[in-house]
């Protein structure tokens, strides 16, 4: 049986998911909807899907699930709508920029028995998964400290900053989820420091472009996160987990992993330029996992609850910056 999917949103991330669906023989992209018909048609023509409205997708009984890649301010409404329609849902993070709206959305999903998976794609990165496997095997003993470096090659445009919800809800939210994934315990307190070091316009819009955070669990385990909207050398994505018996780390990845040695020394090719190429395998794996869960009837993960927790951590980080103190997370 082929799982029929509909794509809501034909922008940059929508194209990534359309490619991932095309690579999985168990799934079919049946329909595409977008506010800009030309964008929807481009994906539809490449995949053999039909261009439909959201109303038509909701009414189509042959469509099993939807992939939500629309602007963030539409996520909660669409999740509720398609949960009530009985379709499984994969939604890009976050559920909403307001944690109370996200909680209300989840309550609606629970009442109707909806199935929702959140797009924390980094859990599916093969390198980060390998780190997690070593933790699970006990190779490094009990996890004590996690260090996450996550730096974008450049800041997004002002129009994006205005609607992003800020660096913690837009960028660090992935790192919050990864910290939870690796720590194995829920985070109790957040201590965050944030500055404007890259672009003064970001500060004028009420946001930050550089942040450092310490997350602490009740047992004292810690995660340190380093974020920047500027990395002149490429897309910087590194992880180290320190445990009682050792450490395991995932280094930066390159499109070509070679090393050149000449009389001038050792050089390596540049890093990936951004998430579309760095996390290609992760995007494909998360869509595959979504289809797996639908076929087998197993719980979807990361869940909507995981998304809510990451949003609560983002709120705590912002409050910590404002108060210049450690903040207890309000789950």
pLDDT attached to residue 1:
82
Q: What is the pLDDT of residues 208-267, one digit of tens each?
A: 999 999 999 999 999 999 999 999 999 999 999 999 999 999 999 999 999 999 999 999
For residue 235, how far is the Cα from the chain centroid? 15
Q: What average pLDDT does range 169-189 have in this prediction?
A: 98
pLDDT exceeds 90 at position 9: yes
pLDDT > 90: percent of the chain: 99
User: Rounded distance, CA 264 to CA 217, Å?
Assistant: 47
Look-up of token digits 């079919």: 28
Q: What average pLDDT does range 63-76 have in this prediction?
A: 97
Contact 127, 250 (CB under 8 A): yes
pLDDT exceeds 90 at position 110: yes
pLDDT attached to residue 235:
98
For residue 133, how far is the Cα from the chain centroid? 20
**Angle made by CA atoms 295, 277, 94, in degrees to the nearest 5:** 60
Q: What average pLDDT does range 198-216 have in this prediction?
A: 98
For residue 2, how far is the Cα from the chain centroid? 26
Beta pairing partners, 29: 5
222 membership: H or E segment, kind and range: strand 222-228
Contact 247, 140 (CB under 8 A): yes
Q: What is the pTM of this model?
A: 0.96
Q: What is the pLDDT of residues 18-47, one digit of tens each?
A: 999 999 999 999 999 999 999 999 999 999
Q: Is 150 exposed, middle or buried (0-12, 13-18, 19+ CB in 10 A)?
A: buried
Q: Would you state the structure tokens that stand for residue 42, as one six-digit string?
A: 């481009």
pLDDT attached to residue 141:
98
Q: What is the mean pLDDT of the chain?
A: 97
pLDDT attached to residue 84:
98
User: Rounded distance, CA 103 to CA 76, Å?
Assistant: 10
pLDDT attached to residue 227:
98
């Amino acid at each position: 049986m082929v799982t029929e999917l509909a794509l809501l949103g034909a922008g940059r991330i929508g194209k990534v998911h359309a490619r991932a669906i095309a690579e999985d023989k168990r799934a079919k992209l049946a329909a595409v909807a977008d506010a800009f018909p030309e964008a929807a048609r481009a994906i539809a023509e490449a995949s053999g899907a039909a261009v439909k409205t959201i109303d038509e997708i909701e009414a189509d009984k042959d469509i099993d699930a939807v992939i939500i890649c629309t602007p963030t301010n539409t996520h909660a409404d669409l999740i509720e709508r398609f949960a009530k329609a009985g379709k499984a849902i994969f939604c890009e993070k976050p559920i909403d920029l307001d944690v109370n709206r996200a909680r209300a959305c989840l309550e609606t999903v629970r009442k109707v028995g909806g199935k929702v998976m959140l797009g924390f794609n980094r859990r599916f990165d093969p390198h980060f998964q390998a780190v997690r496997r070593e933790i699970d095997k006990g190779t490094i003993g009990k996890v004590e400290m996690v260090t996450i470096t996550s730096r974008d090659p450049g800041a997004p445009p002002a129009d994006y900053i205005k609607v992003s919800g800020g660096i913690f809800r837009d960028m660090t939210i992935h790192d919050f989820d990864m910290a939870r994934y690796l720590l194995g315990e829920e985070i109790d307190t957040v201590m965050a420091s944030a500055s404007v070091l890259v672009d003064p316009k970001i500060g004028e819009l009420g946001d930050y472009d550089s942040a450092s955070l310490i997350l602490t669990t009740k047992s004292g385990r810690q995660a340190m996160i380093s974020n920047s909207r500027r990395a002149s050398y490429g897309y910087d994505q590194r992880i180290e987990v320190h445990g009682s018996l050792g450490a395991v780390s995932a280094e930066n990845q390159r499109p070509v992993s070679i090393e050149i040695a000449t009389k001038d020394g050792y050089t390596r090719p540049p890093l990936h330029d951004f998430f579309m190429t760095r996390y290609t395998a992760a995007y494909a794996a998360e869509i595959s996992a979504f289809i797996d869960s639908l076929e087998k009837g197993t719980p979807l993960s990361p869940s909507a609850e995981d998304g809510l927790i990451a949003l609560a951590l983002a709120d705590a980080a912002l409050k910590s910056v404002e108060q210049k103190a450690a903040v207890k997370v309000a789950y």
